[in-house]
């Protein structure tokens, strides 16, 4: 093959610099998950197709990558004229589409091995056959924390802390954690007399950012919600004030809706619990416009935005009352959040937060002067590595210019030269590559300098 090779549309190679930054993002989020007592699990990349089908809506089903059965897959196939029907006959497995459905499947399968409430985090890739565009890929890594088996609102408050602490630890200074409660939205539907149009209402509100108030009003109309109900709705969701003022306002406005009142009460408890916790850089905003579209959420919902950077939401999540029902284990409530690592990367890049990241390379390069100083060079290499210093010995006696350019390109901080003079004196030349300063040090002194 002499054609230049390429990779599938919507997928990415990550060069060392980017991989290290991604590693930093994952590690930072992981450390915070652990501090809040979440434990890791891993699930297979492939799930049985039957586990995934029907869980993500019709559109979602189309975006699932199916894996062709091995061997003579045609031997049971009859639907040779219909791609969709045939696909179910020749593909029994599919790639994970998100981490939530596999988590629900995991909880049901392992219910006798785990104790409830079960708190897990999971940082693994997912795959979607979506049309690729800026910031949207066919393979991307999700970072999720969820707890299943408790209705306690403590967790809801703690997820605000987790977002706040993780994003602050990443160096992001200005972001907003939006919270709302789907029961409050149900209350809106109740008091505007459109209880049966709850989902339509949520889907329309969810688009406010994209299509504006006029657009939402139009969509509400198309979905059968009359103009006077829309007026009432906008009067409610447009209320502005502090989080406390919103609670007081809604307590009165939703008094006639049982579900709405419960939502207000829940939100009050979440915010009260959160008030006991130190906050870092994030602002918590009780946002009446937050709806999270068509999703299966039933209580508190979250969305996180970096302010002043146009990349959309960098996190989201919420409470789902019946997480595992679809796998035959009803009655388990779950709540969880997700971090959007790719968008967080874009935010950090735009804010210049990667500029102070540690070098991707060795701290020092021992220049190769050939046979004469080979022994001394290998000894020094050994001493430095024993002291846990990341160091390289240039692999062959190349031109000085080439060796220095290697150090330069890899961002190596120091070069060490052991020529014949240095061999005699036992003092090696060490050069700081950014300042250009050079000094003569013994092996021991070099180890000390680079360990401090």
Interacting residues with a copy of itself between 25 and 84 (CB under 8 A)? 34-37, 39-48, 50-51, 62-63, 65-68, 70-75, 80-83
- Please compute, for residue 331, the number of CA atoms within 13 A of its CA located in the half-sphere on the CB side: 2
Out of 211, 227, 248, 277, the only residue in the binding site for a copy of itself (CB under 8 A) is 277
Q: 3-class SS at 300?
A: strand
Write out the binding residues for a copy of itself, residues 375-414 only, by CB under 8 A.
Answer: 375, 378-379, 381-382, 385-386, 388-393, 395-396, 405-406, 409-410
Nearer Cβ to a copy of itself, position 143 or 189? 143
Nearer Cβ to a copy of itself, position 5 or 240? 5
Q: Is 133 in the site for a copy of itself (CB under 8 A)?
A: no
Q: Give the shortest CB-73-to-a copy of itself separation in angstroms.
A: 5
Q: Is 358 in the site for a copy of itself (CB under 8 A)?
A: no
Q: 3-class SS at 26?
A: helix
Q: Give the shortest CB-96-to-a copy of itself separation in angstroms.
A: 10
Write out the binding residues for a copy of itself, residues 91-110 only, by CB under 8 A.
Answer: 91-93, 95, 105-106, 108-110
Rounded CA-CA distance 341/132 in Å is 17
Q: Is 11 in the site for a copy of itself (CB under 8 A)?
A: yes
Nearer Cβ to a copy of itself, position 80 or 294? 80
Asked if 303 and 286 count as a contact pair (C-beta separation under 8 A), the reply is: no
Q: Give the shortest CB-343-to-a copy of itself separation in angstroms.
A: 17
For 99: left if phi > 0, alpha if psi spans -120 to 50, otherwise beta; the answer is alpha
Write out the binding residues for a copy of itself, residues 160-179 only, by CB under 8 A.
Answer: 161
Asked if 369 and 378 count as a contact pair (C-beta separation under 8 A), the reply is: no
Asked if 254 and 263 count as a contact pair (C-beta separation under 8 A), the reply is: yes
Nearer Cβ to a copy of itself, position 140 or 188? 140
Nearer Cβ to a copy of itself, position 11 or 420? 11
Nearer Cβ to a copy of itself, position 290 or 443? 443
Q: Give the shortest CB-257-to-a copy of itself separation in angstroms.
A: 26
Q: Give the shortest CB-363-to-a copy of itself separation in angstroms.
A: 9
Kindly state the tokens that stand for 237: 């969701």
Rounded CA-CA distance 354/159 in Å is 26
Asked if 381 and 332 count as a contact pair (C-beta separation under 8 A), the reply is: no
Kindly state the tokens that stand for 103: 């988590």
The secondary structure of 210-251, three-state, reads: HHHHHHHHHHHHHCCCCHHHHHHHHHHHCCCCCHHHHHHHHH
Contacts of residue 305, Cβ cutoff 8 Å, sequence gap at least 6: 175, 176, 178, 312, 313, 314
The site map against a copy of itself for 310-349 (x = CB under 8 A) is: ----------------xxx---------------------
Nearer Cβ to a copy of itself, position 23 or 248? 23
Write out the binding residues for a copy of itself, residues 289-308 only, by CB under 8 A.
Answer: none
Out of 29, 99, 127, 338, the only residue in the binding site for a copy of itself (CB under 8 A) is 127
Bridge-based pairing state of the strands 334-340 and 313-320: antiparallel
Nearer Cβ to a copy of itself, position 104 or 417? 104
Which listed range, 194-202, 253-261, 273-281, 315-323, lies at the site for a copy of itself (CB under 8 A)?
273-281
CA angle 246, 247, 253 (to 5 degrees): 85
Kindly state the tokens that stand for 375: 């022994």
C-alpha distances in angstroms, 208 versus 165, 278, 396? 29, 32, 62
Nearer Cβ to a copy of itself, position 115 or 434? 115
C-alpha distances in angstroms, 340 versus 67, 236, 292, 303? 26, 30, 15, 11
Q: Is 8 in the site for a copy of itself (CB under 8 A)?
A: yes
Rg of the chain taking only CA atoms, in angstroms: 28
Q: Give the shortest CB-249-to-a copy of itself separation in angstroms.
A: 26
Write out the binding residues for a copy of itself, residues 195-254 only, by CB under 8 A.
Answer: none
Q: Give the shortest CB-304-to-a copy of itself separation in angstroms.
A: 20
Kindly state the tokens that stand for 434: 């950014």
Q: Is 435 in the site for a copy of itself (CB under 8 A)?
A: no
Nearer Cβ to a copy of itself, position 23 or 439? 23
Q: What is the DSSP letter of 277?
A: S
Q: Which of 276, 329, 296, 303 is nearest to 114 (CA)?
A: 329
Kindly state the tokens that stand for 384: 């430095």
Nearer Cβ to a copy of itself, position 102 or 340? 102
């Amino acid at each position: 093959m002499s054609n230049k090779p390429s990779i599938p549309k919507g997928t990415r190679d990550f060069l060392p610099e980017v991989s290290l930054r991604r590693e930093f993002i994952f590690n930072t989020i992981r450390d915070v998950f652990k501090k809040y007592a979440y434990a890791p699990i891993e699930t297979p990349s492939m799930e049985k197709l039957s586990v995934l089908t029907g869980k993500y809506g019709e559109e979602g089903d189309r975006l699932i990558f199916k894996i062709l059965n091995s061997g003579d897959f045609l031997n049971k196939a009859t639907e040779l004229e219909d791609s969709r029907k045939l696909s179910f006959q020749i593909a029994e497995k599919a790639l994970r589409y998100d981490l939530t459905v596999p988590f629900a499947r995991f909880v049901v399968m392992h219910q006798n091995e785990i104790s409830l409430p079960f708190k897990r985090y999971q940082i693994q890739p997912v795959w979607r056959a979506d049309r690729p565009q800026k910031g949207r890929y066919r393979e991307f890594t999700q970072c999720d924390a969820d707890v299943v088996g408790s209705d306690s609102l403590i967790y809801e408050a703690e997820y605000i802390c987790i977002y706040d602490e993780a994003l602050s630890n990443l160096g992001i200074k200005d972001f907003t954690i939006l919270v709302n409660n789907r029961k409050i939205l149900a209350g809106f539907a109740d008091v505007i007399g459109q209880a049966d149009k709850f989902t339509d209402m949520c889907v329309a509100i969810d688009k406010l950012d994209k299509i504006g108030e006029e657009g939402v009003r139009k969509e509400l109309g198309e979905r059968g919600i009359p103009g006077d109900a829309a007026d009432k709705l906008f009067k409610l969701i447009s209320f502005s004030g502090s989080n406390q003022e919103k609670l007081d306002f809604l307590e009165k406005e939703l008094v006639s809706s049982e579900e709405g009142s419960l939502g207000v009460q829940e939100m009050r408890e979440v915010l009260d619990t959160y008030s006991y916790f130190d906050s870092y850089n994030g602002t918590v905003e009780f946002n009446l416009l937050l709806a999270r579209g068509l999703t299966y959420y039933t209580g508190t919902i979250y969305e996180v935005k970096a302010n002043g950077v146009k990349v959309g939401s960098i996190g989201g999540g919420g409470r789902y009352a019946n997480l595992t029902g679809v796998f035959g284990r009803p009655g388990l409530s779950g709540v969880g959040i997700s971090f959007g690592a790719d968008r967080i990367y874009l935010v950090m890049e735009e804010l210049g937060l990667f500029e102070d990241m540690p070098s991707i390379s060795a701290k020092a390069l021992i220049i190769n002067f050939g046979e004469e100083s080979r022994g001394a060079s290998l000894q020094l290499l050994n001493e430095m590595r024993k002291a846990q210093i990341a160091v390289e010995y240039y692999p062959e006696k190349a031109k000085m210019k080439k060796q220095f350019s290697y150090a330069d390109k890899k961002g190596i901080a120091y070069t060490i030269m052991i020529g014949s003079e240095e061999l005699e004196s036992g003092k090696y030349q060490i050069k700081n590559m950014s300042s250009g300063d050079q000094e003569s040090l013994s092996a021991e002194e070099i180890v000390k300098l680079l360990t401090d």
